[in-house]
A and B are shown apart, each in its own frame.
Chain A
């Protein structure tokens, strides 16, 4: 289920702090695909995604989300995407349902649509018994699930997740992966960073490897293996080899 318009098109994206964090990055993610962005700590993954989500202003470059120029028209771009950070940012004093009501209100979703959708989402993530409890007593995993439900309640066409599985137990991680898989099958695009290479290997249609702010490899698992010259190697071995090569070149 892919269309001509890319879900995400990044050109020459640059951000510099005390050193270049993202260095003239070009990246294209097709509509309806599950894209995993991998890279060592400090490679520029989160900075890239924060610029795409509108949380950080790039020094240079362009970002297009489903054909909408995200820098020129950020409100329209934000309407069709969702962002989930690795550190779940929710309100301690709200219940999961109140949180989702707030998110739906911010995105201007009709309450008649968002209320049942919120309940269904929370139920699918195993949070039904906690619908009316304030989040202040929740574990990190539960908070992450509430944040994820918040990202999905307005039915975004592009979902950007930064390490969404951090802190989740095996069952919760399976719930989340199932939910994301469903969204991709229904035509939504998912971009996710992860350090759990097995997740990328099993779920991603395509994988991008970023190092020192630049994309150093990209493709399906098979294509990456071909680029690496070994058909039997694991993603973990390829990832380490790529990152080592980049580090040596730097």
Chain B
């Protein structure tokens, strides 16, 4: 096999692996694949409705654009780029750490620079492919409303995907060199979380500080933004112009993306092998715990809770996820702080944000404590009834959620005791709902499978999300329109009841 044929063969292998990994991630087991694909198609179709609500009003835009429109479109594209960068960093670290075929590849007589070039292209393709898929409802809405010139938005998504993959590879390899392989994984995960959420949060923080609103559009469409923005012929607006149908600029962007990716491949592919060797050859440093040798006393449940707290504290995934949840809480916290000095109705928005964040975090925590049990045999053979094990684990979830959200709710109480009480109740109910769903759909798994937790039950994932949204809406309505809150609450209870009815644990 000559080198071109070998490259093509390896590219096919990579594409097949990426496709199967994606399919497994989206659909879980083979038996449910057909149903899951139908559900995905239905979901994509339904997504056109929120896409229309968010982006439909931009469909009539024509070139030349004014600064406010250019700023909004450019910021939206930058947000997509930040999210793709976050996804790409995660993909690159997975290639280094999680692929089981690295030993085989490294011990083969293949040209490693070529092999890793293909792998870099595969990362770029998978990131871009996912972005194309997610952007399709939005571009569809624009094409239907504004004509086929909007199809060029797909080209912008591709250019953005290529550059995001190139930058992600450069960042990750540089991290390896700066802080070493053992710390790179955690730092990359945290970086990915911050990059993904950071831009939106920064805009919200600016909006709160300047205009007292959570809407990021307040900053983007402000006069101040227009004054400080570069001139209309600046290359900064190229992505926006390309998206709206400027073919020449689109060609330049695509060419730029390809050149950047090619440069990254030329610079980093030959070093990729060395980096992989340093990851696989360097055993994780023996991390030592404090040298205490005395054991703590207490009940069996206390032993279980202590173990869960210790494992949660030492879980890098949870740290990055919690950090993201906490980042999302920064804008409402700022809003709260502002409301102490100025009377504002916008403070009501804090309640659904807190309840939603609590529900989502509780879902992850409940999975880690209830399903993600690495020593399942040990806990099952321990002399205590399963109900007590479950209770201890649910208590851990409640305690962690209370520790994170209590300070915020306490601060809220200074602004409005009633709203604080409603928020606290919403947090408790959302947490218990998330834990209950995890219990009903429990599938024993390793904690390291946390990233794929949603594949064990797509239904549980959707139920968890809908319940979080439902309780957040109910709490918000309870503060403003109590009658509507009763209806929203009843609907959420019905979702929960339907989830229980179809759950495998019902019997």
Residues of A within 8 A of B (CB): 53-55, 75-76, 78-79, 81-83, 85, 89-95, 97-98, 101-108, 110-111, 114-115, 118-119, 130-134, 136-137, 150
Contact = CB atoms under 8 A, between A and B. Distances in A.
Contacts of A81: 381
A79 B296 CA distance: 20
Given A83-B378, A106-B382, 5 more contacts: A82-B381, A104-B295, A105-B306, A131-B291, A134-B314
12 contacts: A89-B376, A92-B374, A92-B447, A93-B315, A102-B303, A102-B306, A104-B295, A107-B382, A118-B295, A134-B314, A136-B287, A137-B284
Interface in B245-281: none
Given A102-B306, A106-B300, A106-B303, A93 B311 contact: yes
B381 A134 contact: no
A53 B376 CA distance: 13
Contacts of A98: 289, 310
Given A93-B315, A134-B287, A78 B382 contact: yes
Contacts of B5: none
Nearest to A90: B375
Contacts of A101: 295-296, 303
A87 to B, nearest CB: 9
A85 B286 contact: no
A107 B383 contact: yes
Contact of A53 (B285, B310, B315, B381): B381
Contact of A78 (B285, B291, B381): B381
A85 B376 CA distance: 11
A132 B286 CA distance: 9
B379 interface: yes
Max chain A Cβ within 10 angstroms of own Cβ: one of B285, B304, B377:
B377
Contacts, number: 118
A118 B377 CA distance: 20
B288 interface: yes
The 9 closest A-B pairs by CB, nearest first: A105-B303, A111-B295, A79-B383, A93-B314, A78-B383, A106-B382, A133-B286, A115-B295, A89-B375
A130 B382 CA distance: 25
B294 to A, nearest CB: 6
Contact of A110 (B297, B303, B377): B297
B290 A102 contact: no
B298 interface: yes
B375 A105 contact: no
A131 B295 CA distance: 13
Contacts of B376: 89
* Interface residue range, chain B: 35 or more
B385 interface: yes
Nearest to A160: B381
Contact of B286 (A105, A114, A115, A137): A137
A110 B303 CA distance: 12
A177 B190 CA distance: 46
A116 to B, nearest CB: 9
B414 to A, nearest CB: 38
B413 interface: no
B283 interface: yes
Given A76-B383, A137-B286, A115 B377 contact: no
B294 A111 contact: yes
B369 to A, nearest CB: 13
A12 B379 CA distance: 27
B259 to A, nearest CB: 41
B498 to A, nearest CB: 28
Interface in B363-399: 374-385
Interface in B291-345: 291, 293-300, 302-304, 306-307, 310-311, 314-315
A163 to B, nearest CB: 13
A144 B300 CA distance: 24
Contacts of A119: 293
B377 A108 contact: no
Contact of B384 (A103, A104, A106): A106
A89 B374 contact: yes
B283 to A, nearest CB: 5
A136 B303 contact: no
Contacts of A79: 383
B373 to A, nearest CB: 9
Nearest to A56: B380
A109 B288 CA distance: 25
A83 B383 CA distance: 12
B379 to A, nearest CB: 7
A137 B294 CA distance: 24
Contact of B287 (A82, A131, A133): A133
A55 B318 CA distance: 29
Most buried by B among A82, A104, A132: A132
Nearest to B388: A75
B211 to A, nearest CB: 45
B311 A94 contact: yes
Contacts of B311: 91, 93-94
Contacts of A97: 289, 293
B287 to A, nearest CB: 5
A136 B294 contact: no
A75 B289 contact: no
B291 to A, nearest CB: 5
B312 to A, nearest CB: 9
Nearest to B384: A75
Contacts of B314: 93, 134
A53 B378 CA distance: 10
B294 A105 contact: no
A95 B302 contact: no
